[in-house]
Structure 1
């Protein structure tokens, strides 16, 4: 089978979950892919686990950062080894459902006007599946006001588009928002994306994590949101940026309720 997809995986201290993540790729109904694994100077056995898989499968490219560079720079390192038509993302602690690649590549093949495709995600933790997110089918610039328009780890992007926008932007400000800023760059360049209505990806997710975000991360997020909305000429950028920053002062239990409402989380998955 022709290799048409490069799967970018920045891996860091995920030795316990990496086998399940990689096994989910080898269980895909579409097998025309290679995996580019970049270990971001892990301090556990992540590299050893990755090396065992690389020795077993000839479609794995394994590289390593000499020091911890964080996700954006690590993914850019992976990009140096891409030579395929499409790029897919995957995290080392998540699971791709079996038909993910088949359905995403079919969409991009049949819809040349779209630069990327993603989908809703199933959220799970050690107790099992606990929620399903929602996704807007055809996000526009106004959807950047209150949410990230695409699930990053579940996406597939045309390689020429990723290269045209310069890959990921490396900045201390974007350590948690590199995906949001990537979507901004893609839309700013005149491209657009699509969300399938079927969850094809499972994200390992502590259900209380959003309520524990620190104020400095909220502040950074507000700065990024302001810049993005201003760059897209969306209305009221300062208002929506300030609204995001104010979430740092919202009680934890209320934040969880807001999250469930915004994402359409269903507790009884």
Structure 2
């Protein structure tokens, strides 16, 4: 039986990630912070993802709850199912092919406990592939609404938000336009609500960025992102100059994948050079 009032609910939507799921789940199980519940929802996987997750629910029945979609609902709807089952004071994200550094939850809980004016806290991110780590990315400490057209202000998979924040924002929007940009849509509504967030200046989350991750980024999703950038500028009443960033997703979408990957790798390595 799950703890009825954990400090943190970790939510994870999974789909066909059997090869990486065990390592991802265990990165939460072995956190230095232990007052958590883990809500996993399988989005109608066609491999052994559900079976692997089910084995962990048998080993940790008091900590892990497993849900299953009857059909493939995509990430936003899957995360909403997790949110409906979550009872923690804080909600943390995790993806099935990524890894949380062992003190991630501890550091984020400490921050939200200490600074009530912030609705969420994110962390830096370490991209990796089959050859190993590729540097790291650190976001702006206190992003504001004017940062949103230029960059994704928070790295979605790293965030921990107060449960009441998700309630006020009514979770993730499930629309065709937000099918691969549910996080960007969330940030538009986050800033429109007057919320503040913070990015810890340390990389506490490892994100898998192999060749398959880049191949999944079809042009139609970049076009959707461009529309969302426009909507964000309009909703947040930004000056006209920010509307130029509507072109950014389009430019990225028509750029060859190998160049996009090289650019991401360059940005990650740039942070390391700044620290040397």
Name the TM tier (shorter chain): over 0.9
1:39 aligns with 2:34: no
* RMSD across aligned positions (CA): 2.2
1:137 to 134, 141, 162: 141
User: Structure 2: which 5+ residue stretches go unaligned?
Assistant: none
Tell me the equivalent position of 1:170: 174
Distance 1:207 1:266, change over 3 A: farther
Residue 249 of structure 2, aligned match among 221, 224, 244: 244
The 8 Å contact of residues 211 and 253 in structure 1, kept in 2 or not, is answered as no
- Bigger mean CA deviation after superposition, 212-221 or 71-80: 212-221
Paired residues for 1:73-152 under 5 Å:
73-152=77-156
* Maintained 8 Å contact 1:130/1:267: no
| 1:190-238: CA deviation from partner (whole Å, max 9, x where unpaired) | 1010000010011111268558743322211100111012111122343
Instruction: Indicate the residue corresponding to 2:31 in structure 1.
Output: 28
How far does residue 245 in structure 1 lie from its aligned partner after superposition?
Answer: 1.5
Kindly indicate whether residue 80 of structure 2 is the aligned counterpart of residue 69 of structure 1: no
Cα deviation for residue 183 of structure 1 reads: 1.5
- SS of 2:202's equivalent in the other structure is coil
Aligned equivalents of 1:116, 1:221: Cα separation in 2: 23
1:25 to 1:256, Cα distance in 2 relative to 1, 3 A: closer
What secondary structure, in the 3-state scheme, does the structure 2 residue paired with 1:10 have?
strand
Tell me if the contact between 1:134 and 1:264 (Cα under 8 Å) persists in the aligned partners: no
Paired residues of 2:40 and 2:65 also in contact (CA < 8 A): yes
Match 2:195 to one of 191, 195, 198: 191
- Measure how far apart 1:125 and its partner are: 1.0
Q: Which moved more, 1:60-69 or 1:226-235?
A: 226-235
Q: Is 2:221 aligned against 1:217?
A: yes
Measure the CA separation in 2 of the matches of 1:157 and 1:211: 30
1:203 to 191, 201, 207: 207
Checking the alignment, whether the CA contact within 8 Å between 2:126 and 2:205 is kept in structure 1 is yes
Note the residue ranges of structure 1 that are not aligned, 5 or more in a row: none
Q: Tell me the distance in 2 between the aligned counterparts of 1:212 and 1:79.
A: 26
**2:264 alignment partner, one of 254, 259, 263:** 259
Would the alpha carbon gap of residues 16 and 247 (structure 1) be closer, same or farther in structure 2, given more than 3 Å must change? closer
Q: Distance in 2 between matches of 1:113 and 1:15?
A: 39
Which deviations, in whole Å up to 9, do the C-alpha atoms of 1:76-103 show, x marking residues without a partner? 0111111121000001111100110000
Query: Alignment partner of 2:166: what SS?
Result: helix
In 2, Cα distance between equivalents of 1:62 and 1:240: 40
- Helix, strand or coil for the counterpart of 1:219? helix
CA offset at residue 26 of structure 1? 1.3
Task: Find the residue that maps to 2:233 and give its secondary structure.
Answer: helix
Q: Does 1:4 align with 2:7?
A: yes
Q: How many residues align?
A: 269
Cα contact 2:12–2:96 (8 A) shared by 1: yes
* Larger displacement relative to structure 2 (207-216 or 177-186): 207-216
